[in-house]
Amino acid sequence: MNTPACDPDFAQHAMPGVAGLTPYAPGKPISELKRELGLDNIIKLASNENPMGPSPKALLAARAAMADVHRYPDGNGYALKEALAKKHDVPTRAITLGNGSNDVLDLVARAFLGPGRNAVFSAHAFAVYPIATRAVGAEAQVVPALGRDHAMCYGHDLAAMVKAVDEQTAVVFIANPNNPTGTWVNKDALLQTLENIPSHVIVVVDEAYIEYVQHPDYPDASQWLDRFANLVVTRTFSKAYGLAGLRIGYALSHPQVADLLNRVRQPFNVNLAAQEAALSALSDQQHLHDGVRLNNEQLARMQVELEQRRLFYIPSVGNFISFQTAHDTAAVYRALLQEGIIIRPVDNYALPRFLRVTVGMAKDNDRFLKALDDVLQRLEAQA
Ligand SMILES: *Cc1c(COP(=O)(O)O)cnc(C)c1O
């Protein structure tokens, strides 16, 4: 490429909200680490992916869809919406399909946020909320999380979030459970929150990890859609369903809200293979349950292992755990990369010296723990 005569500063010309953004830092792809270090046998525990992969039925459906890829997908996702409507006992008009649930979060921001408005969410909340909010020129009202000594340490402080809602607030984002903390809010607290937020403010309850949570006090917010017209519940096929690479998620909401989300949606935002795979994945509940059982066994075990190492961790109900070491996060992260293990530094979530590890298959977790021991021992020796 030719070097331009003068170096333009396009950030100056971008929309102010966009110029101020920090790009989302994804987990390092296996192929990238392979390229950089020439390693084989890499394990990635960095993006909360399902280590078992999707249902074999979903894979077959995705493959079969290849025969029709010269056609546009069904822009209305008829078959999948029918299945989701049945699953959730809602009309199809209540469903908005997204290219991942992140797409739906973006649709909410584009439909309801902009300059002069704000979105309320918690500190340490999912990184896509600030990006979606600021990208459209709205303000982020970040509410301090519960303290380290709280039973739900680093979790959402719902009462404070309700208080933070002001005249300019158009959206409240609640991640339940939250990523990267793995914390959650209980039924009574969430219900009270919905009751206390003005009915014109959209409340997004992001349930990306709902399938993993088995606590009796954990609420499925979709049961309250009839009570709160301002409630938007988001779900995804990326986590427990194991379809992260195909990009598909959805929102459940009042049909009027869904209508608005659909006005800003790209006409063919969800591809054909994703629609077919998701439809088949829904029909294979056995596979889903097997994955959840594996996760929850290994999650419990990993928390015990961290405790035995006297490493502080945030108790999690998802398929990941954020833990703290005494060392610089980047040093731990890089040393693990050398061992062929990809996890995720999360100090960029205002969680200093924290890293997040995704729960993997037992043998992957073994390898991670062994490598972590070696790495921490080495860093200790250097300190
Ligand atoms: C992973 C995740 C999502 C899902 O994103 P997709 O776009 O559906 O892959 C949504 N919310 C949270 C909190 C997540 O961690």
Q: Write out pLDDT tens, residues 330-339.
A: 999 999 999 9
Per-block mean pLDDT, blocks of 10 residues, the chain (383 long): 69 89 86 88 95 98 97 97 98 98 98 98 97 97 96 97 98 98 98 98 98 97 98 98 98 98 96 98 98 98 98 98 97 96 96 98 98 96 87
What pLDDT is recorded for position 258?
Answer: 98
CA nearest ligand 1 atom 11, residue: 208
Q: To test ligand 1's pocket by mutation, which of 173, 179, 358 has the most ligand atoms within 8 angstroms of CB?
A: 179
**Cβ(236) – ligand 1 distance below 6 Å:** yes
CA distance 337 to 324: 17
Q: Which atom of ligand 1 is nearest to the CA of 175?
A: 13
**Cβ(319) – ligand 1 distance below 6 Å:** no
What pLDDT is recorded for position 383?
Answer: 80
**Cβ(183) – ligand 1 distance below 6 Å:** no
Label the pairing between strands 320-324 and 354-358: antiparallel
Strand segments (E) across the chain: 43-44, 95-98, 118-122, 139-143, 169-175, 202-206, 231-236, 249-253, 320-324, 341-342, 344-345, 354-358
Q: What percent of the chain has pLDDT over 70?
A: 99
| Centre of ligand 1 from the C-alpha of residue 66, in Å | 26
What pLDDT is recorded for position 2?
Answer: 59
Encoded tokens for 179: 């990523």
**Cβ(262) – ligand 1 distance below 6 Å:** no
Go through the chain and tell me how many residues it has: 383
Q: What percent of the chain has pLDDT over 90?
A: 89
**Cβ(101) – ligand 1 distance below 6 Å:** yes
What pLDDT is recorded for position 288?
Answer: 98
Burial 332-343 (b: 16+ CB within 10 A, else e): bbebbbebbbbb
CA distance 308 to 350: 25
